[in-house]
């Protein structure tokens, strides 16, 4: 079909070395797979490691990798396996059906796929895609389109705004203050802005009104 599959492998994935058939065939059914390859043994071996530069998640990074080919039953063919060393006793294994793909290309393809999966997660968990309780096919299609438009409009609204405007994690000291604003942060900021413009716009600047505004803003921080 011409499609290239790039995915992550389990650390206990069953891989086999390519089997070279003997010139003289023996009795019985010929073997399909060679010796089993264990990823843990591949990582422990010091041979074959090299450094590669790749553009991952918005910045260029250097990774220690090892590349080899193996037979993988679910793919049904010979695949390229990329092992990424992430630290002491920590690694990731990736698989690509295109044997000519470069190590940098495989890493960047996996990083791009993560961004797509994050959008799907935001649509389901935050916008509620798939949770609509409607009966007809047309209503389901319309509700899903509405989810997509809401997600896109929130992202467009937050496009040119700084991280300090979009999220304030002072009330969550356990959280990473340098973490980029998530879609949930953007939605919460937009909700606060709409409520502020709705309830805080008042021509009366008296002391009592200001006190009410301050208390109401504290309440908003708890809800949104």
Give the residue with greater pLDDT, 65 vs 117: 65
The answer to whether 38 and 86 are in contact (CB under 8 A) is no
* Beta strand pairing call for 36-37 and 50-56: unpaired
What would the two tokens of residue 221 be? 């921080």
Give the residue with greater pLDDT, 70 vs 2: 70
Give the residue with greater pLDDT, 199 vs 4: 4
Give the residue with greater pLDDT, 29 vs 200: 29
Residue 64: φ, ψ to 5°: -90, 120
Residue 147: φ, ψ to 5°: -60, -45
pLDDT > 70? residue 220: no
Whole-angstrom distance, CA of residue 179 vs CA of residue 163: 9
pLDDT > 60? residue 127: yes
What would the two tokens of residue 224 be? 């949104």
pLDDT value at position 224? Answer: 55
Q: How many CB atoms lie within 10 A of CB 133?
A: 7
The answer to whether 198 and 165 are in contact (CB under 8 A) is no
Q: How confident is the model over 169-177, as a mean pLDDT?
A: 74
Spans of all domains in the chain = 6-20+27-117, 126-157, 162-223
pLDDT > 90? residue 221: no
pLDDT value at position 204? Answer: 57
pLDDT value at position 70? Answer: 92
Q: How confident is the model over 189-194, as a mean pLDDT?
A: 85
Based on the number of CB atoms within 10 Å of its own CB, is 6 exposed (0-12), middle (13-18) or buried (19 or more)? buried
Of the pLDDT bands very low, low, confident and very high (cuts 50, 70, 90), residue 95 is very high
Question: Percent of the chain beyond pLDDT 70?
Answer: 88
User: 68 in helix, strand or coil?
Assistant: strand
pLDDT > 80? residue 207: no
pLDDT value at position 84? Answer: 92
pLDDT > 80? residue 144: yes
pLDDT > 90? residue 153: yes
pLDDT value at position 74? Answer: 87
pLDDT > 60? residue 203: no
Q: What is the pLDDT of residues 30-87, one digit of tens each?
A: 777 778 889 989 888 888 899 999 888 778 889 999 999 999 988 888 899 999 988 7
């Amino acid at each position: 079909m011409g499609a290239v599959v790039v995915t992550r492998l389990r650390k206990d994935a069953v891989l086999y070395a390519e089997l070279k058939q003997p010139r003289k065939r023996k009795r019985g059914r010929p073997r399909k797979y060679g010796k089993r390859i264990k990823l843990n043994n591949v990582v422990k071996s010091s041979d074959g490691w090299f450094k590669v530069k790749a553009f991952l998640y918005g910045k260029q990074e250097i990774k220690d990798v090892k590349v080899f080919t193996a037979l993988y039953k679910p793919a049904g063919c010979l695949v390229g396996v990329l092992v990424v060393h992430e630290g002491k006793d920590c690694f990731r294994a990736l698989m690509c059906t295109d044997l000519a793909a470069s190590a940098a290309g495989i890493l960047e393809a996996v990083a791009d796929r993560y961004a797509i999966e994050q959008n799907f997660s935001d649509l389901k968990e935050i916008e509620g895609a798939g949770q609509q309780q409607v009966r007809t096919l047309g209503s389901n299609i319309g509700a899903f389109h509405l989810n997509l438009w809401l997600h896109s409009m929130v992202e467009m609204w937050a496009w040119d705004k700084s991280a300090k405007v979009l999220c304030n994690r002072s009330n969550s000291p356990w959280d990473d203050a340098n973490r980029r604003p998530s879609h949930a942060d953007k939605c919460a900021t937009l909700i606060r802005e709409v409520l502020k413009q709705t309830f805080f716009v008042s021509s009366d600047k008296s002391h009592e009104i200001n006190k009410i505004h301050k208390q109401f803003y504290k309440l908003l921080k708890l809800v949104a």
